[in-house]
Structure 1
Amino acid sequence: MTDIIQKNLDYKKYVVDSNLQYFKPHATQIEKTFAEEISSSLNRNSKFISPKFFYDKNGSELFEKICSTSEYYPTRTEISILKQLKNELPPFLDDDFRLVELGSGSSVKTRLLLDILTSQKNIEYLPIDISEILAESSEQLLRDYDNLTITGIIDTYEGGLEFLKTYDKKKNLIIFLGSSYGNFSPIDGYKFLEKVYSAMKPGDLFLIGLDLVKEKEILESAYDDSQKVTAKFNLNVLSRINDELDADFDLNNFLHHAIYNEKDQRIEMYLKSIHDQSVIISKSNLELKLKKDELIHTEYSHKYRLSEIHDLLDDAGFELKHTWLDEKKHFSLSLVTKI
């Protein structure tokens, strides 16, 4: 590995071999951001923890287990749509495209897109993920694809998109799957789409997965499964704060709480304090006082109607190329371009 600094972006470059390199912000920079954000978000009346902090190594592994539960339909439904794309996406790829993935995780869905690109002599893959699992999953992909080169960015989506903006002139197929966009508030979501748009060159493509409005019972069971894997996933963010910010959260003092807000078309996920308690978060210089039944918000997962999706993408400046749905119309994949 080398420690070459990526100019102007304060990244460190790690070269594993000729086919794999990745960039990562300095550790002190990551820790400072985490500590400052936690201090800000928990030191207010309506307390929250950003869902981007779910995905340390253990959080990423727990999320993969959530995707295997019988109640969690989004992953298997989206995979069924991606399989349709094997024959239906290539007509939109009129040149060699690099695959850029926001939130790559363990790269299960990535393979379905890479398989579509195998006609290219050389396939380039640029995953952007805040979790270290990116490096592990990249090594596995290289064992399975002979003509693949990977440049990973271990950072937030916004940081990775800023990196991508001036990377080179090759066309990019940017994918954002799993309905992760639904975690954003409407305002932050629109800003994120603007960020994606600004990172794209004319002719680049953007494929986004979005979960659709459906029955309340289906939605609530998907986010509060019978095996309680989602509960462990939600509580794990407190373990991460304990480990990385020297906090003393007792996970036994909290309950997982998930409800569907029909008015705002979103799942709301919280950690509920089961009694009055006090928590010290040393690296955030914070003493957190919680009352019995007080909620810490950890995630929104917005659901959409097709007309809302098309209006949203149009307002952000994109040109819609195609939208794919599953048979039950539970989930959508929309392909757009920058004009």
Structure 2
Amino acid sequence: MSNPVQKNKEYKKFIVDSRLQYFKPHATRIEKTFAEEISSSLGRNLKSIPPKFFYDKKGSDLFEKICSVLEYYPTRTEISILQKLKTELSLFLDGDFRLVELGSGSSTKTRLLLDFLTASQKTTEYFPIDISEILAESSEELLNDYKNLSITGIIDTYEGGLEFLKTYDDKKNLIIFLGSSFGNFSPVDGYKFLEKIFSTMKPGDLFLIGLDLVKDTSILESAYNDSKGITAKFNLNVLSRINDELDADFNLENFSHYAVYNEKDQRIEMYLKSLTEQSVIISKSDLELKLQKDELIHTEYSHKYRLSQIHDLLDDVGFELKHTWLDDKKYFSLTLVSKN
């Protein structure tokens, strides 16, 4: 199958060498989207900033630091499951698979799967999809460590990358969505996103998704209010990004990080709280933002799940359940499904 991606005028193709290429939307398209979305989300009565905008270079670096703090259990817990999973994954793989990752970040967890795939396949292709520029940097590091690996990356939204994948070629894909990023979606948007993944997949493709499980409130709230204050810096950094890229004048000292668990809706809710009555100009969004003291700007939901909810959700979309792996404390889950 020919690759229509190369003819897409909204993207610029970068060829680093024979083993690494990536595609990136033109800068004007990115800026327009960012400005429009910020204008829309902050222009409402209930103000919000989409969590995908956390991940500029500084935001991605801060998130990597969050993953190593004591209170933030999801990353190390998921790694422990992946270490167990990779020895069992061969039972579900029929032939060679391309590894497609949504939200690759620094690819730390990806290596556990690449260790297995590159050892069992003559050549392995890795297709990372990430909105952050860190993708290009981490890709070059992976190529140094895996000599039979080639990488085609997409620096774009998940939806954009999945559209690339849909018509890319006929090779079987193992799509992975690690971390607990799916929990950032509302239930309605999450269902639509799973439908998007399902529609992208060919018969025989596999999808592995990481989901955080319901647990004690104190454990959940501590994970999003770490004692070193790194999550607070991560949350506030999105205002710095708006200042830099959209010519805004947020004073970060006038805001604080606020995160709480909503037991009824099974989700962590993360906000930026205005510490004073204030006015902010966002020039490129053509917006004057007026905030009252203690007014909240919503920045993220992180939904938590019960196993029965996970299986019902995936089944409703049309996936066939293959296996679910858990850690010893049953804090986190990785579920493998197929499209038949």
**Shorter-chain TM band:** over 0.9
Aligned to 2:94: 94
Secondary structure of 2:193's counterpart equals: helix
Contact 1:224 1:230 in 2 (8 A): yes
**CA–CA distance in structure 1, aligned partners of residues 188 and 27 of structure 2:** 30
**CA–CA distance in structure 2, aligned partners of residues 113 and 285 of structure 1:** 45
| Unaligned stretches of 5+ residues in structure 2 | none
**CA–CA distance in structure 2, aligned partners of residues 190 and 36 of structure 1:** 24
Shift of 1:116: 1.2
**CA–CA distance in structure 2, aligned partners of residues 305 and 105 of structure 1:** 26
Shift of 1:5: 7.5
**CA–CA distance in structure 2, aligned partners of residues 11 and 92 of structure 1:** 35
**CA–CA distance in structure 2, aligned partners of residues 285 and 14 of structure 1:** 33
Contact 2:5 2:168 in 1 (8 A): no
Contact 2:5 2:164 in 1 (8 A): no
Aligned pairs for 1:29-44 within 5 A:
29-44=29-44
Q: Deviations over 1:139-181 (max 9, x none)?
A: 0000100000000000000110011000000000000000100
Aligned to 2:296: 295
Shift of 1:58: 0.3
Secondary structure of 2:75's counterpart equals: helix
| Alignment partner of 1:140 is 2:141 | yes
RMSD: 1.0
Contact 1:42 1:48 in 2 (8 A): yes
Contact 1:9 1:163 in 2 (8 A): no
Structure 1 residues 4-13 or 197-206, which shifts more?
4-13
Secondary structure of 1:6's counterpart equals: helix
| Alignment partner of 1:161 is 2:162 | yes
Aligned to 1:321: 322
**CA–CA distance in structure 2, aligned partners of residues 309 and 284 of structure 1:** 38
Aligned to 1:194: 195
Aligned pairs for 1:251-330 within 5 A:
251-330=252-331
Aligned to 1:25: 25
The residue identity in structure 2 corresponding to 1:94 is: D
**CA–CA distance in structure 2, aligned partners of residues 248 and 200 of structure 1:** 43
**CA–CA distance in structure 2, aligned partners of residues 86 and 157 of structure 1:** 24
Contact 2:175 2:206 in 1 (8 A): yes
Q: Deviations over 1:195-249 (max 9, x none)?
A: 0001100000000000000000000000010000000000000000000000000
Aligned-pair identity in percent equals 82
Secondary structure of 2:76's counterpart equals: helix
Contact 1:253 1:274 in 2 (8 A): yes
**CA–CA distance in structure 2, aligned partners of residues 314 and 320 of structure 1:** 7
Aligned to 1:239: 240
Give the TM-score taking structure 2 as reference length. Answer: 0.98
Q: Deviations over 1:107-163 (max 9, x none)?
A: 000000101102100010000000000000000000100000000000000110011
The residue identity in structure 2 corresponding to 1:45 is: N
Aligned pairs for 1:23-172 within 5 A:
23-118=23-118, 119-172=120-173
The residue identity in structure 2 corresponding to 1:150 is: I
Contact 1:248 1:280 in 2 (8 A): yes
| Unaligned stretches of 5+ residues in structure 1 | none
Secondary structure of 2:87's counterpart equals: helix
Give the TM-score taking structure 1 as reference length. Answer: 0.98
Shift of 1:91: 1.1
| Number of aligned positions between the proteins | 336
Structure 1 segments of 4+ aligned residues over 4 angstroms from their partners:
none
Contact 1:5 1:13 in 2 (8 A): no
Q: Deviations over 1:47-78 (max 9, x none)?
A: 00000000000000000000000000000000
**CA–CA distance in structure 2, aligned partners of residues 282 and 95 of structure 1:** 53
**CA–CA distance in structure 2, aligned partners of residues 283 and 182 of structure 1:** 30
Secondary structure of 2:164's counterpart equals: helix
Shift of 1:11: 1.2
**CA–CA distance in structure 2, aligned partners of residues 64 and 21 of structure 1:** 24
Secondary structure of 1:101's counterpart equals: strand
Aligned to 1:209: 210
